[in-house]
Structure 1
Amino acid sequence: MVDSTEIQKLVALEDRHWWYRERRALLARNLRRLPGPPGTALDIGAAGGGNTRVLQKHHWSPIAVEYGHDGATAARKRALPTVRGDGRHLPIRSDSVDLVVAFDVLEHIDDDERVVTEMRRVLRPGASALITVPCDMKLWSAHDVAVGHLRRYTRDTLRAVLENGGLRVERLWSWNVLLRPGAAYTRKKSTTSDLRKMNPLVNAALSAVIVTERFLPVQSLPGVSLMARAVRDA
């Protein structure tokens, strides 16, 4: 579980921080690629609802599901439909959801496969899930400890968790590839989480790099994170 202090930092910084801004853009691009019209979406581990707002903007009817008090309170203050809930026991009817979003959630939960099983349960047949996780234990650092990570994933371990939980992986790729060398160097020396207020010039420079990645064929290379699009078959 994410520490309350880290949730408060996230809520305060996510609108401006380069990493959260690009992750929201990543979600938006993938929403546009999904088949069919928007419907009901579940944002698991929503924290303050940054991704929930992206879902609203793209005409989905979202529900923010957040385990912690601070995140759920922040999401409600933003007038987002919010429920307190555990990803291993979602308080949602079976076969009732058209999309599940779980961005940087699985790595926080001991029984990650159970979370995927719950995703499958609430999804309608043919509906999709969009999932991101941190990748590669070689990048493990004090940052992971501070933000409550239990693991980092490889392509094979993420695929196995999703498939064992009953989802079919349509696509799996890397993101935050260009900044991986810098992340590896920084985290060797880190003593706490990376989430902090940044110099605006540094924030702008990092944002420019990560935006450039959208236009380069680097998604098969090692990155800092992995993203998957998976489907519940009938």
Structure 2
Amino acid sequence: MDIRYEAQYHLLEEKHWWFEGRRDFVFSLVQQLGLAPTASILEIGCSGGPLMLRMRDKGFSNLTGIDISPRAIALAQQRGLPSTSVMDAAHLDFEDEKFDLIIASDVLEHIEDEAQALREWHRVLKPGGRLLVFVPAFPVLWSQHDVVNHHFRRYTRETLLAALRTSAFGVSRSSYWNGALFAPALLVRSLQRLLQPSKAQSQATNASGDLAALPKPLNSTLLGLLRLENAVLNRLNFPVGMSVFAVAHKPSCPAA
């Protein structure tokens, strides 16, 4: 992630509609797993720790967080989360079969060796342990935002499932998330490529991405839209969206 973008990210991650709406849905998925409060949970890419703080407030007591950014981990520790550390998500410094749940939101696309990361995540999960993974969706939506964030790829539901299954994960659910904004985003991306092809090379030096503070009424409106979608998504899957997620698991017994 561009260091200028990261500073803005940490200022906005607690109240920005996108992050708050996604945390709402991630937490709802965690609740649906029916884990004990003492379950060992690892958040990969914990940033400044807003999801960990929420989970702790809801009674989860065995939380660990890692992030590649020293600035993010310093912020998490300032917020009262001592079990956080700087670590490479593709090379975990944990023993085998340590965690009941791994949460990785917008992490996998940052890692060039996707297979290595998934092998590591599989290794540190207990048999029967779960993985909640979110990634940005659809290569056709590739934009300056991806460049600034140092993404290697965007995913479809099929490519995410293929990567998980190749790494010996089973998958119990997968869907797109944030479907209402897919069509507007696709239109904007298409127009950008059509009308501004000469600016493609300059995008890498622009650290603005798509992240910006919005007026409170607009931020609240977009958050309300996401929360409405989240409620629907708890009952059915979406055919398109800005992100794609999967609920995966490490089999309890090795495959024959």
Q: TM-score range by the shorter chain?
A: over 0.9
Partner of 1:43: 43
Partner of 2:116: 114
Q: Does 1:177 align with 2:179?
A: yes
Superposition deviation, residue 108 in structure 1: 0.5
Distance 1:54 1:189 in 2: 37
Q: Does 1:68 align with 2:86?
A: no
CA contact (8 A) 2:179 2:238 kept: no
Superposition deviation, residue 129 in structure 1: 0.7
CA contact (8 A) 1:179 1:210 kept: no
**Inter-CA distance 211–35: structure 2 relative to 1 (3 Å threshold):** closer
Q: Does 1:11 align with 2:13?
A: no
- Structure showing greater radius of gyration is 2
Amino acid at match of 2:59: H
- Normalization by structure 1: what TM-score? 0.93
1:33 aligns to what SS in structure 2? helix
**Inter-CA distance 57–167: structure 2 relative to 1 (3 Å threshold):** farther
Distance 1:197 1:189 in 2: 22
- What is the CA deviation profile of residues 130-161 of structure 1, one whole-angstrom value per residue up to 9, with x for unaligned ones? 11000101111111111111110011110111
Comparing 147-156 and 51-60, the one that deviates more: 51-60
Partner of 2:54: 54
- What is the CA deviation profile of residues 107-135 of structure 1, one whole-angstrom value per residue up to 9, with x for unaligned ones? 00001121111111111111101110001
Gaps of 5+ in 2: 194-202
Counterpart among 144, 147, 164 of residue 145 in structure 1:
147
Q: Does 1:207 align with 2:223?
A: yes
Distance 1:125 1:136 in 2: 31
Partner of 1:197: 213
Partner of 1:102: 104
Superposition deviation, residue 214 in structure 1: 2.5
How many aligned residue pairs are there?
Answer: 233
Q: Does 1:225 align with 2:206?
A: no
- What is the CA deviation profile of residues 34-85 of structure 1, one whole-angstrom value per residue up to 9, with x for unaligned ones? 0341311111011111222233233331111011111111111111121111
Superposition deviation, residue 17 in structure 1: 0.5
Comparing 136-145 and 186-195, the one that deviates more: 186-195
Gaps of 5+ in 1: none
1:138 aligns to what SS in structure 2? helix
Aligned counterparts, 1:155-174, within 5 A: 155-174=157-176
Q: CA RMSD in A?
A: 1.7
2:119 aligns to what SS in structure 1? helix
Comparing 5-14 and 26-35, the one that deviates more: 5-14
Amino acid at match of 2:242: V
CA contact (8 A) 2:132 2:246 kept: yes
| Runs of 4+ residues over 3 Å off in structure 1 | 185-192, 215-218
CA contact (8 A) 1:41 1:55 kept: no
Distance 1:40 1:74 in 2: 22
- What is the CA deviation profile of residues 179-233 of structure 1, one whole-angstrom value per residue up to 9, with x for unaligned ones? 1122223445496411111121221221122122124366332100011100011
1:166 aligns to what SS in structure 2? coil
Amino acid at match of 1:154: T
Distance 1:153 1:12 in 2: 27
**Sequence identity of aligned pairs in percent?**
31
Distance 2:129 2:30 in 1: 12
Superposition deviation, residue 94 in structure 1: 0.8
